[in-house]
């Protein structure tokens, strides 16, 4: 800690020395900014562990559980609404509610990222926490379509955008070499909530009213965000607020290919989260299997998120990403496509797909972070996920329409094709990282 404080104290000195040197040489403003950034980056190091760093990871774990955990349980809500409050609406129409939440969660990251770089994590975390608890309480009072859209779609999307962007960005303040492991541990919060929420909601909804069920869920989320606010802490100095979108990011082909790959994968992932319970019902697997499918998917995802961190830190982030996408392609085309009415094969496919998807989700932020400086991570992450958000916005409505018109087999085959595009995109990103010289046994 003493070493860390000394480094932080050296930052103003580094700023002053960089400024004096640049002014003495008569450099232009952009040269001054470059020199200043390079000097500060060279001055700071990363703890890579210790009580303070792992408490920050734990806070990110809780915040992600409170936000992404609800998104990963969206299939349960959609199935319930379709049978109760929104029985007069089609699955495509209901799908727009969940898609709006996911879209705003990812798209508004482009706004929250620079705000995090400017103000740090604490204020943003408090605002997002209030909104997150509030929307769950209000959800219990919803009775009409527009109620659910404003509450679960808009308010939840804004609140979750704040919490998830801060929770992921703050890890880059504390970890560099072990960032893959730290991010994987934090992302396990998604899977924990994704397992526990569906398993708990089924008996709760059968025993209590919708309103009281949401109040109990709000209490759980309050505990999670309280812990998150208690331990969240930034370490690097806040800087000048940059532009909301940096078009320079897309001048880097590595960033462009990685963003395309993440977009394709998230398209399939969120359509699966939204439609898997409906798929199980249409295949005749029953209500219990429908509820359990999301919990099992998230259980596999939890293992994938944790494992991906170790593999990425040992063998490279892009290498691990390719392996994870390949597992998801296998689960979709080799296991899910021939499921038919075979419930046993369905139970095999779900955790395998969850394992691959969990690995991809935890690796995506660190793959983006590998392409930029730590001080720019919030902006680069937000810029990438503003594009990913567009894919998630249309994912559930398009695939729900496809499933209703062409059948479940066409839906699965289409998802497999999109995953192949994600695999090709990350192959191109890895190739670009190696200056377009293909090398197999390279940690990248």
Phi and psi (nearest 5°) for 87? -65, -20
* pLDDT for the residue numbered 245: 63
Identify the pLDDT of residue 119: 79
Closest CA to 94 of 149, 150, 147: 149
Cα separation, 175 vs 186, in Å, equals 12
Backbone angles phi, psi at 407, to 5 degrees: 100, 170
Distance, in Å, from the CA atom of 383 to the CA atom of 169, rounded to the nearest integer, reads 13
Please report, to the nearest 10 degrees, the dihedral formed by the alpha carbons of residues 234, 183, 125, 46 taken in order: 0
Q: In the prediction, which pLDDT does 301 show?
A: 86
Taking the C-alpha atoms of residue 77 and residue 131, their distance in angstroms, rounded to an integer, is: 19
> Would you state the pLDDT for residue 39?
37
- pLDDT at position 180 is 72
Look up residue 384 and give its two tokens: 């990438």
In terms of residues, how long is the chain? 444
Dist. CA 177–CA 312, nearest whole Å = 10
- Report the alpha-carbon distance of residue 389 to residue 109 in Å, rounded: 9
Other C-beta atoms lying within 10 Å of the C-beta of residue 214: 23
Q: Are 52 and 5 in contact (CB under 8 A)?
A: no
Look up residue 238 and give its DSSP letter. P
Residue by residue, DSSP assigns 333-346 as IIIITT-TT-HHHH
Is 361:302 a contact under the CB 8 Å cutoff? no
CB 73 within 8 A of CB 294: yes
Q: In the chain, what are the domains?
A: 46-234+243-433 (1.20.1250.20)
Q: Would you state the pLDDT for residue 46?
A: 65
* Tokens of residue 205, six digits: 């909804």
Look up residue 424 and give its two tokens: 């090709």
Residues of the chain with pLDDT under 50: 1-43
Query: What are residue 192's phi and psi, to 5 degrees?
Result: -60, -50
DSSP state of 48: -
DSSP 322-384: HHHHHHHHHIIIIIITT-TT-HHHHHHHHHHHHHHHHHHHHHHHHHHHTTS-GGGHHHHHHHH
Q: How many CB atoms lie within 10 A of CB 401?
A: 15
Report the largest interatomic distance among the alpha carbons of the chain, rounded to a whole angstrom: 76
């Amino acid at each position: 800690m003493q070493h860390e404080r000394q480094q932080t104290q050296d930052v103003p000195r580094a700023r002053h020395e960089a400024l004096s040197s640049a002014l003495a040489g008569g450099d232009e403003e952009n040269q001054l900014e470059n020199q200043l950034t390079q000097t500060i980056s060279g001055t700071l190091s990363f703890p890579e562990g210790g009580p303070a760093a792992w408490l920050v990871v734990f806070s990110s774990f809780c915040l992600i559980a409170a936000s992404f955990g609800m998104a990963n349980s969206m299939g349960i809500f959609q199935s319930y609404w379709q049978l109760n409050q929104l029985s007069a609406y089609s699955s495509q129409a209901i799908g727009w509610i969940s898609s709006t939440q996911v879209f705003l969660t990812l798209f508004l990251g482009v706004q929250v990222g620079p705000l995090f770089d400017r103000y740090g994590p604490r204020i943003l975390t408090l605002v997002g926490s209030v909104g997150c608890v509030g929307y769950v309480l209000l959800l219990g009072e919803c009775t009409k379509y527009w109620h659910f859209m404003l509450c679960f779609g808009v308010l939840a999307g804004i609140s979750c955008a704040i919490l998830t962007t801060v929770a992921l960005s703050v890890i880059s303040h504390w970890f560099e070499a072990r960032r893959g492991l730290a991010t994987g541990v934090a992302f396990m919060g998604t899977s924990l909530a994704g397992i526990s929420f569906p398993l708990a909601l089924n008996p709760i909804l059968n025993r209590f009213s919708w309103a009281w069920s949401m109040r109990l869920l709000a209490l759980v989320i309050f505990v999670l965000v309280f812990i998150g606010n208690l331990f969240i802490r930034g370490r690097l100095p806040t800087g000048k607020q940059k532009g909301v979108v940096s078009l320079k990011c897309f001048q880097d082909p590595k960033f462009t290919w990685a963003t395309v790959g993440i977009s394709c994968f998230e398209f399939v992932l969120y359509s699966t989260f939204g439609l898997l319970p409906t798929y199980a019902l249409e295949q005749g697997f029953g209500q219990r299997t429908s509820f359990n499918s999301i919990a099992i998917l998230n259980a596999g995802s939890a293992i994938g998120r944790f494992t991906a961190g170790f593999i990425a830190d040992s063998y490279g982030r892009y290498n691990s990403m390719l392996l994870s996408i390949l597992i998801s392609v296998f689960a979709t085309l080799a296991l899910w496509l021939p499921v038919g009415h075979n419930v046993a094969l369905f139970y095999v496919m779900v955790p395998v797909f969850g394992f691959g998807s969990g690995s991809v989700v935890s690796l995506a932020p660190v793959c983006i972070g590998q392409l930029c400086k730590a001080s720019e991570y919030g902006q680069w992450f937000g810029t990438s996920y503003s594009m990913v958000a567009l894919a998630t916005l249309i994912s559930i409505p398009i695939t729900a329409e496809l499933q209703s018109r062409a059948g479940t087999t066409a839906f699965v085959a289409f998802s497999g094709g999109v995953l192949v595009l994600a695999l090709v995109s990350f192959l191109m990103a890895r190739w670009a990282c190696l200056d377009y010289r293909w090398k197999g046994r390279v940690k990248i």
